[in-house]
Amino acid sequence: MSRRQFDRQHVVDTALAILDDGGPDALSVRAVATALDVRPNAIYTYVEDRAALDGAVAERVLAMADLSLLTGPPSQWRRRVERFALSVREVLLLHPGVVSLLMSAPLNGPVALSIGEGLLDAFADAGLSPRDGARASYAVMVHTLGSLALDVAETDGRAPLDPEEDRVAARAAAFAQAAASAMPRTAAAAPIMATWVGETQFRWGLARLLDGIVRP
């Protein structure tokens, strides 16, 4: 015996499982230790501190997005960007608790860097200058992660999330309840505002952004 039963990867996986199961509040160094049947301080053998654990979990999930979607024929640059952004969205909605981790630390890991390179490549294929390509890449990241953050903020962060249909319906009900007599446009647009957390809104915003980016 005395052979260790797990490694850093296992620690991170355990943390992700706890996050999925109980949401952001449930994740703690001590919870990971308990799940691995070890004392809390043993975790520090594998991870420098809590922030490093959070970062590793975020990196792990971000790596689940299909980066290969960003490569392809230059003429298809737009489809490549859109499909990749949807892949990021899909993966993060499967692990909603990760979104807050992703937004609360610098996005400078190897996976984030690779994503940046892939986006720069796609926008170069679109004929953009390096400067505009860099601005466009970040704008796409902002849209993607910003949308996810606002969407997930309305949930408890546990996986699996309620189906989009249910989340939209809950929003619609909330709007209906709030008699917005002083806000006529809100009252009129409430049914659409209920769908703000959905994939259609995500696609629409991204499409408008890309329209504006390549507009002559």
Partner DNA sequence: ACCTGAACACCGTTCAAGT
Among 8, 79, 113, 162, binds a second copy (CB under 8 A): 113
Q: Judge contact between 81 and 140, C-beta under 8 A.
A: yes
Q: How far is the CB of 202 from a second copy (least distance, A)?
A: 9
Length of the chain in terms of residues written:
216
Token output for 160: 């699996």
Among 17, 35, 38, 91, binds DNA (CB under 7 A): 38
Does the protein bind a second copy through residue 71 (CB under 8 A)? no
Query: Which of the listed partners (DNA, a second copy, none) does 4 bind, with a CB threshold of 5 to 8 Å by partner kind?
Result: DNA
Which CB atom, from 38 or from 120, has the smaller least distance to a second copy? 120
Contact 104, 150 (CB under 8 A): no
Q: The tokens of 195 are what? A: 């769908």
Residue 21 as a binder of DNA (CB under 7 A): the answer is: no
Instruction: Give the interface segment with DNA, choosing from 25-33, 150-158, 186-194, 204-212 (CB under 7 A).
Output: 25-33
- Closest of 143, 141, 174 to residue 62, by C-alpha: 141
Q: Is 176 in the site for a second copy (CB under 8 A)?
A: no
Minimum CB separation from DNA for residue 3, in Å?
9
User: CA 41, CA 60: separation in Å to the nearest integer?
Assistant: 23
Nearest approach in angstroms of CB 13 to DNA is 15
Residue 27 CB, nearest approach to a second copy (Å): 14
3-class SS shares of the chain: helix, strand, coil, % to 5: 75, 0, 25
Q: Which of DNA, a second copy, none has residue 42 at its interface (CB below 5 to 8 Å by kind)?
A: DNA
For the chain, give me the number of helices (H) and strands (E)?
Answer: 10, 0
